[in-house]
Amino acid sequence: MHAFLLAAVLSAAAVAAPAPAPEGTQAGEAGAVEESYYLVSFRGQTIGKASRRLVRTGEGDAARLTLAIDEHYRFSAGDRPAHQFALSRRAEMLPDWTPLAVSEKSEESGAGGEVSVRFEPGKAVFKQPDGREKTVEFKGPAVAELSGEALAARGLLKAGGKLAAVVPDLARAALVLQRAEVIGEKRVEGKAGKLFLVQIGDADGRVAWDLLVDESGRLEESSTGEVVRKRVEKGSAVLPDAPAALAAGAVPLEGAPEKAWKLERLVVELTLSDVEKAPVVPELGGQKVTQDGRRLTVTIVARRPDGRLPEGKLTAGERRRWLEPEGEPDWRDERIRKLSADIVKGEESELKRGYLVGRWVYRNLAKNLGGPPEASAVQALVARAGDCSEHAALFAALARAAGLPARTAWGLVLNEGTLRFHVWSEFHAGDRWVPVDTALGRYGLPACYLTLGYDRDEAGVRLFKLYAASRGRVVASEER
């Protein structure tokens, strides 16, 4: 894991699927090729993919490793234009991951550049995109990438194993001191051999990211910050027994009811890893929160148009914010406006207009997790497919074009005993916010939706504090 992922994919999680070595070779032998493929997510949404290829050549003093990493990202927020980024990285190394030469080429929304570095005894010589060279001296060990494989190559992949080394940061033409420590190991159901939890930090001891690796050091999962580490009981360094509990982006709940969609009321208790001063779960209409130290108790009630919806009158400023947001311009697009007019033609009721827009989105967008992540409303309309984010973006644009203030809700939904990341919508009608889930076809919502907010960044911060919750349980529930 290199500096780009730390800087550009904050709070991300990656899952690797290593491919076997070619027939006739074993991983670790000369001539062996190891390939891995990753999905990279941001706040629960897939924003890119990456491939990683490690080739071993030569023997004895001539033994070398060649690492090739290719990453491709495409992401946007709501109706904002998609941002694209591609990165190719190549490293020539000794078998213990000491770097000989590293190069990196990037392309970001049409612009790009290439930088490289060659290592000599005690110094690294960077060649920048304009051709200038920069020499940086260093003492101590250096690695091309501080990874589980680098630890394994040096015999340090074991409980308590530590390594401090400089790593090239080509984007800044600098060397960065990083520290790795193996803080846990355990056998996990469904996995052969042991898994090791590796904590990576900077020179000042701040945690940069966590790695979950197998016995050879190959990556199983990673997350920036302490998302994975927070799931570890640090005193005894024991990993959860269930593989599902290792996945970032979910909070398992003890005692969860099987039929969450029937819930009229749900009371959930979450124990956080730290005492938080700012509210991790906000108190909103239909959602009450109490906090006692690290313990949060959240009470959720169903919100349905045929029942009592919490009152939510809008000020003139709030109405402008949700009806004509400058940061989400797709409601102005001629295609959006024409389609919206066709959907609600002749309908005067605000409640019915919102229903018609939601029904159209649910019926006409294919449920697809493989498209561009968080596409804009126009992109979703053209593709006629998307995940919950695309459904919500298109609903918001169509509703606004129909004269209805609309907002996107970010949060968690109880499903199969686990709170999982999800995105849904709300539109304003008759002094009430009416929730709809156009990805699942719900008009009004049962009490299994925990709202974290309507601002993407604020909700994202809360989301990953909940992902780090050490445990959760259902205190009470009532079905319809």
Q: What is the pLDDT of residue 434?
A: 94
237 & 287 share domain:
no
Q: What is the pLDDT of residue 202?
A: 81
Q: Is residue 136 part of a domain?
A: yes
Domain end call among 199, 220, 246: 246
Instruction: Please give the average per-residue pLDDT across 218-245, as a whole number.
Output: 47
Domain end call among 212, 246, 280: 246
Q: What is the pLDDT of residue 51?
A: 82
**Residue 392 is part of a domain; what is its CATH number?**
3.10.620.30
Q: What is the pLDDT of residue 218?
A: 86
Instruction: Please give the average per-residue pLDDT across 350-360, as a whole number.
Output: 95
300 & 205 share domain:
no
Query: Tokens 């029937």 identify what position?
Result: 262
Q: Is residue 376 part of a domain?
A: yes
Dist CA 407 CA 397 (whole Å)? 9
Q: What is the pLDDT of residue 29?
A: 57
CB 154 within 8 A of CB 96: yes
Q: Is residue 251 part of a domain?
A: no
Instruction: Please give the average per-residue pLDDT across 23-28, as a whole number.
Output: 44
Q: What is the pLDDT of residues 403-450, one digit of tens each?
A: 999 999 999 999 888 888 889 999 999 889 999 999 999 999 999 999
Number of neighbouring beta carbons within 10 Å of residue 355: 20
Q: Is residue 128 part of a domain?
A: yes
In single-letter form, the type of residue at position 249 comes to: G
197 & 267 share domain:
no
Q: What is the pLDDT of residues 139-163, one digit of tens each?
A: 999 999 999 999 999 999 998 899 9
Q: What is the pLDDT of residue 233?
A: 38
Residue 235 belongs to domain spanning:
3-246
Q: Is residue 108 part of a domain?
A: yes
Q: What is the pLDDT of residue 235?
A: 33
Structure tokens at 322: 């949700």
Q: What is the pLDDT of residue 464?
A: 66
DSSP 160-185: T-EEEEEEEETTTTEEEEEEEEEEEE
Q: Regarding predicted confidence, which is higher, 190 or 236?
A: 190
Q: What is the DSSP letter of 332?
A: G
pLDDT at 43 over 90: no
CB 436 within 8 A of CB 243: no
241 & 318 share domain:
no
Number of neighbouring beta carbons within 10 Å of residue 94: 16
Report percent pLDDT > 70 for the chain.
77
pLDDT at 131 over 90: no
389 & 466 share domain:
yes
**Cβ-Cβ contacts under 8 Å for 278 (sequence gap 6 or more):** none
231 & 310 share domain:
no
Q: Which of 25-29, 250-254, 377-381 is predicted with the least confidence, judged by mean pLDDT?
A: 25-29
Q: Is residue 431 part of a domain?
A: yes
286 & 422 share domain:
yes
266 & 241 share domain:
no
Taking all residues of the chain, what is their mean pLDDT, rounded to a whole number? 80
Tally of domains within the chain: 2
Angle subtended by helix axes 388-401 and 350-364, to nearest 10:
140
Instruction: Please give the average per-residue pLDDT across 272-292, as a whole number.
Output: 85
Dist CA 404 CA 28 (whole Å)? 61
Q: Is residue 255 part of a domain?
A: no
Query: Tokens 């205190």 identify what position?
Result: 475
Dist CA 121 CA 98 (whole Å)? 11
156 & 297 share domain:
no
Domain end call among 190, 223, 246: 246
pLDDT at 10 over 50: no
Q: Is residue 252 part of a domain?
A: no
464 & 402 share domain:
yes
Report percent pLDDT > 90 for the chain.
45
283 & 422 share domain:
yes
pLDDT at 239 over 60: no
286 & 227 share domain:
no
